Structure 1
Amino acid sequence: MKASPGARSWMAAGVRHELLTRALPALRHDMAAPVSVIRMGLLVLKRQAASAPDAENWSERLSLIEDQVALLAGGVHSLRAWELSAEGEEITRGDLVVQCSALMRVPFELHGIGLLVAEELSPEKDERRFPSGAALRYMLLGALGYLHDSVAELGEICIEADGDDALRLSARRGESEPGDPLAGAHRAPRALAIDAIALQSLAEGLGYAVSVEPDSVRFGLLPAPAEV
């Protein structure tokens, strides 16, 4: 059967994604090497600045730079979290929601879409860890993308726990102001919008069970049992 234009676009996007994930380890290494050199240089400068006449001023400036370099190094190392081949990475449900919400909150809120997280998903209250953190990040981002791309006049998305090992995302419609120039500014091109078929394909590829409704998504945080 001949693939539809949308399906062909998704297949091409899938190939690009696979190539990117294969290149990520080298990209991460290339970014981490200069950061290591900078950190070593800062250590030398701090030792030299300690004997300078205005040592206090130098110390403050170097500490500021050191903090920024540490943030940069953390960002570089976090790229590993997106590699599905990463072994041993577990994540709590609360941390999963916090990480993905932080990534999407700003682009959503720029055109009036709120992200609400249920109180029971606070990282301090949710200590159970689930395997395959990278796969779960793709699942949650996929669910957010589906509701974002599929629900007209979307006002907010509520993320809440569903039982002990699942998440449910529910869309609520809102009122958009007429002539809002930012409305739809971050929506995907129509050919690559995440529809129910795309989300189901993502879940099947990653090995998770997902239930997709017009205005809600539920998926388990443990891999679905293999079919016999």
Structure 2
Amino acid sequence: MKASPGARSWMAAGVRHELLMRALPALRHEMAAPVAAIRMAVLLMKHQLASEAAIEPAELAERAARIEDQIAALAPGKHFLRAWELSSDGDSITRSELVAQGTALMRVAFDLRGISLRVGDAISPSKEGPRFPNSAALLYMFLGALAYLNDNAEHIDAICIEAEGAEALRLHVRLGETPLADPPDDTHVAPRALAIDAVALQLLADGLGYATSIKPDSVQFALRPVLHPAESRAAQALPEG
């Protein structure tokens, strides 16, 4: 039985949920340190206030300033969580910013498995390129491409991320000679049933409306969506070159 458009939308939402679950550990780690520092500072202030010793106003002011600094450190994480919401008026993003955000989320997990993420010289933060709409959708596409290559290729040594023309990205694997290291228990590695295969990645691209070329060892996708998601199914391959 062929899946209905509604069923395909639900399946695409499931792929996005899996990608979000893979990215959350890194975000949680970044937000945990400021929260722990705030908690410690508050406990020390409560202990001082409960004691009979005189409290120096300057000391309290210093602790309050440290708490404010840690609250400020939480702001990027809060903004990043909101950035995952798909909307037609989402924030725009450059190609280099997209790659920087995506690799920052997943680099540690890949490093623990012995897979390096290598960014091409053409993708440089110092090179101001065009901005592309809906940063959340693009981040899902980037993480989906990384997950697909990680889940399906064997003996990966590196995943290379390169610019393709002015408005596309290409990710491809570089194979090594030895099997991947077993990941530690606390890293998120999807079980086989939740692996991102070519069908799942194409569902994601169709739902978000991006023309995508999927091969066993590479993924290429445009950074501007087609007018309607259905059009991406008719343009499953980008022109080579």
TM over 0.5: yes
Structure 1 segment 77-226 matched on structure 2, within 5 A: 77-85=79-87, 87-176=89-178, 180-182=181-183, 186-226=188-228
Counterpart amino acid of residue 165 in structure 1: E
Q: What is the CA–CA distance in structure 1 between the aligned matches of 2:122 and 2:171, rounded to whole Å? A: 14
TM-superposition CA deviations, 1:33-91 (whole Å, max 9, x none):
xx9xx9xxx9xx9xxxxxx7572x55554433322111113211221110002624100
- Of the structure 1 ranges 211-220 and 64-73, higher mean CA displacement relative to structure 2 is found in 64-73
1:72-120 deviation line (CA, Å, top 9, x unaligned): 1321122111000262410000000000000000001011010011122
Shift in CA distance, 218/66, structure 1 to aligned 2, threshold 3 Å: same
Report if the CA contact (8 A) 2:155-2:179 is conserved: no
Structure 1 residues 120 and 63: CA distance shift in structure 2, 3 A: farther
- TM-score for the superposition, normalised by structure 1: 0.73
Flag the 1:85–1:12 CA change in 2: closer, same or farther, 3 A: closer
1:202 Cα deviation from its structure 2 partner: 0.5
Structure 2 unaligned blocks of 5 or more = 21-34, 46-54, 235-241
2-structure distance, mates of 1:53, 1:183: 47
Identity of aligned residues (%): 59
Give the TM-score taking structure 2 as reference length. Answer: 0.69
- Which amino acid in 1 is paired with 2:14? G
Quote the Cα distance in structure 2 between the aligned partners of 1:54 and 1:80: 37
Write the deviation string for residues 189-211 of structure 1: whole angstroms up to 9, x where unpaired.
11110111111110001000000
The CA RMSD measured in Å over matched residues stands at 3.4
Tell me which residue corresponds to 2:48: none
Alignment partners' CA distance in 2, 1:60 and 1:116:
42
Secondary structure of the equivalent of 2:128? coil
Counterpart contact for 2:212–2:220, Cα < 8 Å = yes
Contact 2:132–2:224, Cα closer than 8 Å, also in 1: yes
Check the 8 A contact 1:112/1:176 in 2, yes or no.
Answer: no
Distance (Å, rounded) in 1 between the aligned partners of 2:56 and 2:144: 56
1:128-158 residue CA offsets vs partner (Å, 9 max, x unmatched): 1000111000000000000000110111101
CA 215–81 in structure 1, closer or farther in 2 if over 3 Å, else same: same
Per the alignment, residue 14 of structure 1 pairs with: 14
Q: After superposing the two structures, state which structure 1 stretch, 120-129 or 99-108, moved more.
A: 120-129
Higher-RCO chain (CA-CA 8 Å, sequence separation at least 6): 2
Q: 1:124 to 1:80 in 2, by over 3 A?
A: same
Retained in 2: the 8 A contact 1:84–1:132? yes
Task: Tell me, yes or no, if the aligned pair for 1:153 and 1:175 is still in contact at 8 Å.
Answer: yes
CA distance in 2, matches of 1:15, 1:194: 8
